[in-house]
Amino acid sequence: MQNPSPGSVCPADGRELPLVEASSRDDVRQAIISARKAQVEWSQLGLATRAELLKQVGRRILEHQEAGCQVLSDETGRGKTECRMTEIASTGDYVKGAIRAAKVALAPERIKLSSLDFPGKRVVVESVPRGVIGIIAPWNYPISNFYKSLWPALLAGNGVVMKPSEHTPRSGAWLQEQCAAVLPEGLVGLVQGRGDVGQGLIDEGVDSIVFTGSVPTGRKVALAAAERLIPASLELGGKDAAIVLADCDLERTSVGIAQWSMHNAGQNCAGIERVYVEEAVADEFVRRLGAIADKLRVAPGEGPTDLGPLQNAGQLAIVERHVADARAKGATVVAGGEATGQGYGYRPTVLDHCSADMLVVSEETFGPVVAVIRVKDAAEAVQQANDSKYGLNGSIWTRDIARGEALARRLEVGVALVNNHSFTGILPETPWTGVKETGTGIAASRHAYHSFVRPRTVLIDSSSKPDPFWFPANEDLETMSQALVLRNQGSFGALFKLAGLLGKRIKAIRGLAQG
């Protein structure tokens, strides 16, 4: 296929898809205005009511899953079974988990105060919705990528304006339609288009922006948000590493690494792209991994398929360039290494004898390609795994669980795993976050709520007496300040002195008030 307009063809077979019109700047402005209007009443409903309505949205998504899977399949080229498994089937459970996290994150915090120092006073810290949240999602998981931010934002009492990727506009539109069928009119808005439309969300006044995408675009989003002094949650690139130790279960490890490197044709920010394997088992591991890759079926095909094509021509070009670079620098192609010739399909690829100077080791490939790097021991593996500008997930594969845990905690990542990878992305109560150029964002869990709420401190003073440090200043106030210092240094005698001064200070303050 030639390089068509984004989102205009099915990646599996080149079938033309109806064009989706880009939103104008006025469309963006009106979507924000509508969401802000609906948000006022939504925020007053209370968490329990909002949660029940989101459960209804979740049920509706499941009830209409066949249509959702069709849209996903058209836009990503994946088979319907894979679409259902990755983006639809767990929706209800994800919403329920998000509700549990919200109950923790949004619970008022009561601050304990000393009744001696602060008589008659109580303090509570509340979570106040920011207003309207802009969510810019990528094309690799065009529905479920919204979940990590959409549900928390709504549970917190915000309105939302969604911007799907221009490569997968219909999937985002389908999700917004399910929300609109249940929730107040305008609460969840939708805008379509390229980067200028995302810029418009910031320019036209969202109160917080959530962006998932590339590092260069993420930097632009961060700068634009900084100009408006609004929070920006950024989930950017990844180059995940798995470390295979000599004592691992080779059968389970090879299948697990095949899963998390080839799943969704490798178009996963937390997909395994680098494998550091100890020399003692490297030959057997590579043999097993290559054999598995050769058996995987790429859509379109007869019967069930294991992975779809790459989503667009640009991504196919990146994968081909990275593999060619690895070959030129001495990597061995164990499996795959070429396009299928149908749509944007690319064969599951295993490259052995890779090195740090290769693009498949240093840059995000985002395709069904795994680079194997042989190391002498675990220490070298950890050092090389950490020698990356990214840090999302990292995993250790071993039978020695205690050692695996210790090594996993040495990985410079946001999510560390033992004998699995990328798994926590389906757990709504665990933070999805990274370090380095992977970005500053935290998605899912109670830890994500900085993007969606601001704290408000409320102090209630029911005391009938003035505070003893109020005007006027006099010798008793000076003596009191000295006694406070002594008390905080552990002097019990200072307590008696303070008790004697309180009455005198209150009398002086009341005298000032009486003129």
- pLDDT tens by residue, 426-449: 999 999 999 999 999 999 999 999
The H-or-E segment that residue 454 falls in is strand 453-461
Helix (H, G, I), strand (E, B) or coil at 254: helix
Q: Is 248 a catalytic residue?
A: no
Task: Exactly one of 75, 82, 235, 363 is catalytic; name it.
Answer: 235
Task: Exactly one of 10, 269, 273, 278 is catalytic; name it.
Answer: 269
pLDDT score of 299: 87
Q: How far is CA 386 from the centre of its chain?
A: 21
- The answer to whether residues 364 and 392 touch, using CB atoms and an 8 Å cutoff, is no
80/71 Cα distance (integer angstroms): 9
| Identity of the residue numbered 102 | A
**214, 269, 242: which is closest to 350 by C-alpha?**
242
431/448 Cα distance (integer angstroms): 7
Q: What are the DSSP calls for 404-452, one per residue?
A: HHHHHTTS-SSEEEES--SGGGG-TTS-EE--GGG-S-EESSGGGGGGT
Distances (CA, A) of 153 to 165, 433, 513: 19, 17, 48
pLDDT score of 160: 99
**Segments of the chain with pLDDT less than 70:** 1-2, 301-302
123/110 Cα distance (integer angstroms): 6
362/466 Cα distance (integer angstroms): 65
In this structure, the strands spanning 109-111 and 132-136 are: unpaired
Q: How far is CA 347 from the centre of its chain?
A: 29
What lies within 8 Å, CB to CB, of 499 at 6+ separation is none
What 8-state DSSP symbol labels residue 112?
Answer: P
What 8-state DSSP symbol labels residue 1?
Answer: -
Q: Is 269 a catalytic residue?
A: yes
Task: Copy the structure tokens of residue 93.
Answer: 């459970």
- The answer to whether residues 233 and 149 touch, using CB atoms and an 8 Å cutoff, is yes
Count CA atoms within 13 Å of residue 47 on its CB side.
19
Q: What are the DSSP calls for 149-181, one per residue?
A: HHHHHHHTT-EEEEE--TTSHHHHHHHHHHHHT
| Identity of the residue numbered 208 | S
| Identity of the residue numbered 389 | K
All structural domains of the chain, each given as residue ranges with its CATH number in brackets, are 25-108+127-236+446-452 (3.40.605.10), 240-427 (3.40.309.10), 468-513 (no CATH)
What lies within 8 Å, CB to CB, of 260 at 6+ separation is 240, 242, 268, 270, 271, 272, 420, 421, 422
| Identity of the residue numbered 463 | S
